Chains A and B, each alone.
Chain A
């Protein structure tokens, strides 16, 4: 997700589009990405560490983006 202080022209455009379909009361829209990664499994703490590193080094750019992740067991 783009950081708050980073201009997000995509989010602005989506906000305008929502407003033009009479969706009122929107304060702000930001457009980010959602990734789903299927893992083979393993120790949760270890996976947490690995995913965090992947988010930090590749999946997001910490200069402009923030990230959160969850590990679900199915």
Chain B
């Protein structure tokens, strides 16, 4: 399988993602520069974290119009797996692949810290290797990570089981104190209606080795591998 990592001027988690996918998980991985108009043979696209285009105007607002993002939008609409991490999540929202927006943290501060996340559902290509209710310890690093959407959108996300991760205490309780940035409903990560596009503020790619303080991020990356491998096996059976 092949992972494609989109690079914009100002991306700075592209190499972290590359390291996690290529070196830790041993998967073929390549970079896709923002000017490329096709994604090639890719099983999953990663829109990485960083400060694309210097966060000018709004986080993710400019990146959304890059040629590679047009290809990502088409790829997502045809069912391809897309994961947007941190700035990647902001870009996917700006591109309307995910609902809502990420606004300034309620405390106004850039937060760089490990947080606890509860796996809210395993019914997704991005959480199938986890257990419902499982608590993951994964770092966040953002200034604009407060998830906002209109009440009816939040309600829809809940109803459709599309909130994949929520900020929680280390014991898995969803409390306001465990919410680092003021995200509505403690939302840390959501997927689209077709469940093939996932955006999250925390950085699973930075939590893939015990040496880095946590390898809980592997739950997310391994879920993607499971999904791709299963699809491959199904494709072989059909042909």
Contact = CB atoms under 8 A, between A and B. Distances in A.
Interface string A1-41: 01001111110010000000000000000000100000000
B104 A61 contact: no
B239 to A, nearest CB: 42
Given A63-B100, A64-B101, A64-B103, A9 B108 contact: yes
Contacts of A8: 104
Interface string B104-126: 11111000000000000000000
Q: Is the interface of B mostly helix, strand, loop or mixed?
A: loop
Given A58-B61, A61-B61, A7 B148 contact: yes
B149 A9 contact: no
B108 A10 contact: yes
B194 interface: no
Contacts of B104: 8-10
A59 interface: yes
B179 interface: no
A61 B94 CA distance: 8
A73 to B, nearest CB: 26
Interface string B87-111: 0000001100001110111111000
Contact of B57 (A2, A58, A64): A58
Interface residues on A, range: 10 to 19
A9 B105 contact: yes
A58 B95 CA distance: 10
A2 to B, nearest CB: 8
Q: Is the interface of A mostly helix, strand, loop or mixed?
A: loop
A7 B182 CA distance: 9
Nearest to B153: A63
B232 interface: no
Contact of A13 (B57, B108, B149, B150): B108
A58 B65 contact: yes
Contacts of B106: 7, 9
A15 to B, nearest CB: 13
B230 interface: no
B146 interface: yes
A22 B9 CA distance: 44
12 contacts: A5-B150, A8-B104, A9-B107, A13-B108, A33-B57, A58-B61, A61-B58, A61-B101, A63-B148, A63-B150, A64-B103, A64-B148
Given A6-B103, A9-B106, 18 more contacts: A5-B150, A7-B106, A7-B182, A8-B104, A9-B104, A9-B107, A9-B108, A13-B108, A33-B57, A58-B61, A58-B65, A59-B57, A61-B94, A63-B100, A63-B148, A63-B149, A64-B103, A64-B148
